[in-house]
Amino acid sequence: MINKNLGLAILAALLFLPVVGLSQQLPPLVGEHGYADMILTDGKIVSMDDRSAVPNSPGHTFEAMAIKGKRIMALGTTDAMKKLAGPKTQRVDVGGKTVIPGLIATHYHTDLFAARTYGPQLGLVDPSIKLSVFAEKTAEATVKKLRDTILNAIQVRKIPKGQWIMVELREREDRRETHAWLYFGRINRRQLDSGTEDHPVFVKSEVRGILNTRAVEEFTKVFPDWKESTNLENYAEASENGYAASPESQAIPYAFWWKDKPLETFAEANRLQGLSLQKLGITTVSTRILEPRIIAAFHLLNREGKMPYRLAYYVEPHRGNLLGLKSTREFYKGSGAPWTTHAAGTEMLWLAGMSNEIWDSGRKEVCLGPDVPASPEIKALERCPDPGSKPWESLKAAIVNGWRPVGVHGEASHGARLYIQMLDEAMKEGNYSLEYMKSLRTTLEHAMFLGNLPDVMAGIKKYGIILNPTPSFLSEVPETNRRYGGQLSPLVMPVKSWIGQGVRVTFEADFTDFWTTIYILVTRKIPKRERGGIADIAAFNLPGKETFDLVPEEAIDRVTALKMTTTWGSEYMLAEDTLGTLEPGKYADFAVLDKDFFAIPIEEIRDLKVVMTGLNGKIVYDRDPIAGVN
C-alpha cells in the first residue's frame, strides 16, 4: 500500500511540474484572460486612436491584433500576438492588407432601405396603383396633366374604389420648381378632387407631396392630429392644401398596407439589409426612427441575438405618429428621457436621443435669412423655423424634459443661428448649466451652406454642437448658387475651417458609399448632375464623367476624413469609449481593405473595397475568403 501511494504521488508530481513550468512561461495576458480566440497577423492595422485634429495623424500602426471574446485583447507585432494564441485560437493571416476600425454610418435611414430592398420578398409590398408624370413648365399645366393622367387611369384600368393611387411627379431638367409648387399649394388637393372622390391619391415629388381629400380623410381616421401636425411642421394652410412630406410618406405603408403584418417580418427585412452593410465594412449605424414598430422590430432582433450591426437610434414619434403640439409635449414630459451612451446601453442597440429631423428642411429650402440677400421670390422658398412651430417646440420640450436632441437638419447659416437660439431658450427654461447642455452633444446635419460666420460658429462652439455634413449634396450647389446670384461660395461646407476652429465634424456618407464621400472631402471634386437626387453620386465612376472643383481650399487630408467616420464618428453616438478605434478593451469591430487607403493614389480611394468585416470579435464577411468564412 505504501509503495502504491508513493507511486501515485510521484506520478502526480511529474504531471504537475510541466504545468507549473508552462504557467511561468505564459504571457501575462494569457495568464489573466486565457488564450486569444482569434489573432489577425501580417497586416497593416491602423488604430485610428489619435483623436486630435492634426492632419495625417492616424495614431498607431501594428502588424497584428489579438481578440478575446468580443473585444480587442492586444495589438503588436505578429510574433508577439502569436504568443497569445493557443491550440484553439483562430489564426487569420491578412496578407499585408490594411485593417481599420469598422465604419460608422452617422446618418443612415436604415429601415427605409430595408423595406424597399428586402420588404417585397417578405410580403411588404406596395399594392397601390403607380403612375408617373413629368412636370410641365407651369404649375397650372402640371395640374392639368396630373388630373388627366389620374382620371384616365381610373377609367381605363377600372381601378376599384378605395384603391390608393401613388403618382410620381418628376421635375423637368430645365426647371426645378416642382417642390415649391407642392409646398406652397400651387398644386393642391382641391385641384385633384374632382373625379377622384373614391380613391385616395398621393402625388409625390422626392419627399414632398399632396394628398387629395379622400386621402386626407383616410389619414385623419388613423392620425386624428394630422391637420395640426402638418400645419405646425410646415405652415398654417398646409393641411388645407393637402401637403404631405416624409412623415406621411413613411406612415402610409405601415398604417394602411402593412398594418396587419407581424413584427417578425419587419425584423427580418432589417436583418437582411444589415447583412448587406456588413459586406461594406459598416459595423455601426445611427438613425432616427419615426415608426414605433420599427423600434420594436430592432428590439426583437436584439433580444434574439440577431442584430447585424450596432444601432444607435433616435426616437421621432411626434412626427411618425403625426402628433399635435400637446401630445408631443406630453410624450417627452412623460417618457423619462431613457436615452443613454453605448457603454451604459446594450452591446448592439441603444437609444441615444430623440430627433426632429426637419428644421430648415432640405437642399432646396435652405434658411439663409439675413445672411444672403435675394429677391422676394427666392426668399419665399426658404424654410426657417419659428417659435411655436413643431420643429422648434418639439426639440425644446424634449431638451427641457431631459432628452438629447440629434440629427437636426442644419442646411444653412441662419437655420443654425435659429437652432442656437432654441438651445438658449431650452437651457433657460430647463434651468440647465452650459456644461450640461454641451454634454448632450447635439448635432446639425447636411450643413451645405452653414458657412463660417462668427456669431454662428461661436454658438456652435458654445454648445459643443457636432456638425455632420453631407458632401454628396455639394452637387446641388451650382443650382442653388445660381438662384442667389452666385453669393453662396463663401458658405459652402467649409470643413477644413470648422475643424481648424476646434469644432467636431463627422460626415454622412452617400447612402453606403463612404469612399466616394471621402474622395469629395479630400479633392473637393464634385460630379455634375443631369438630374436631382443624391443617388446620382454613382455617376462618379462612369467613364468621362464631368466634374467641377468647389471651394478647393476647404479640402482636408484623407486621414482626417477617415477619422470623421471612425474615431470621431463614435463620438456622435456617445460610443467613443467602446467603438471607433482599434484599442485593447474596445469591441473588435474592423474592416480589411483590398488596397492601402493610406498610400494609394487619391483617385483610387473611391474604388476601395472591403474584403473582410469583423463584428464583436467574429468575422461576419470574408469575400475571398481569407479566413474561410463566407
Instruction: Supply the Cα-derived Rg of the chain in whole angstroms.
Output: 27
Residue 540, phi then psi, degrees to nearest 5: -55, -35
Phi/psi-derived region of residue 289, left when phi > 0, alpha when psi is between -120 and 50, beta in every other case: beta
* Assigned C-alpha cell, 343: 457603454
pLDDT for res 541: 54
- Quickly state the pLDDT bin for 180 (edges 50, 70, 90): confident
pLDDT for res 124: 97
The count of other CB atoms within 10 Å of the CB of residue 86 is 11
Q: What single letter denotes the amino acid at residue 5?
A: N
What is the distance, to the nearest Å, from the Cα of residue 429 to the centroid of all Cα atoms in its chain? 30
- Quickly state the pLDDT bin for 174 (edges 50, 70, 90): low
Q: Helix (H, G, I), strand (E, B), or coil: what is residue 311? A: strand
- Quickly state the pLDDT bin for 15 (edges 50, 70, 90): very low
CA dist 286 and 293 (Å) reads: 17
Domain 105-115+264-579: which CATH number of 3.30.450.20, 2.30.40.10, 3.30.499.10, 3.20.20.140: 3.20.20.140
Residue 292, phi then psi, degrees to nearest 5: -60, -30
The count of other CB atoms within 10 Å of the CB of residue 18 is 9
pLDDT > 80? residue 529: no
Q: Please tell me the pTM assigned to this model.
A: 0.93
20-66 per-position pLDDT tens digit: 334 457 899 999 999 999 999 999 999 999 999 999 999 999 999 99
415-458 per-position pLDDT tens digit: 999 999 999 999 999 999 999 999 999 999 999 999 999 999 99
* Assigned C-alpha cell, 184: 406652397
pLDDT for res 177: 80
Q: Could you give the C-alpha distances from 153 to 129, 156, 304, 345, in angstroms and in order?
A: 9, 5, 46, 52
Beta-strand (E) ranges in 374-456?
408-409, 443-446
Q: Give the pairing of strands 64-68 and 71-76.
A: antiparallel
330-374 per-position pLDDT tens digit: 999 999 999 999 999 999 999 999 999 999 877 678 999 999 999
Nearest to 293 by CA among 330, 262, 324: 262
CA dist 242 and 223 (Å) reads: 14
pLDDT for res 546: 80
pLDDT > 80? residue 7: no
pLDDT > 70? residue 129: yes
Q: Give the pairing of strands 208-211 and 201-205.
A: antiparallel
pLDDT for res 12: 35
Q: Helix (H, G, I), strand (E, B), or coil: what is residue 338? A: coil
Residues sharing a CB contact under 8 Å with residue 534, sequence separation 6 or more, in sequence order: 470, 472, 473, 475, 510, 511
Torsion of Cα atoms, 117 then 122 then 124 then 126, to 10°: 70
pLDDT > 50? residue 536: no
- Quickly state the pLDDT bin for 531 (edges 50, 70, 90): very low
Which range has the worst mean pLDDT, 204-208, 375-379, 625-629? 625-629
461-481 per-position pLDDT tens digit: 999 999 999 999 999 899 899
pLDDT for res 315: 97
195-219 per-position pLDDT tens digit: 999 999 999 998 889 999 999 999 9
Give the residue carrying C-alpha cell 419627399: 207
Share of the chain above pLDDT 90, in %: 87
CA dist 120 and 127 (Å) reads: 11
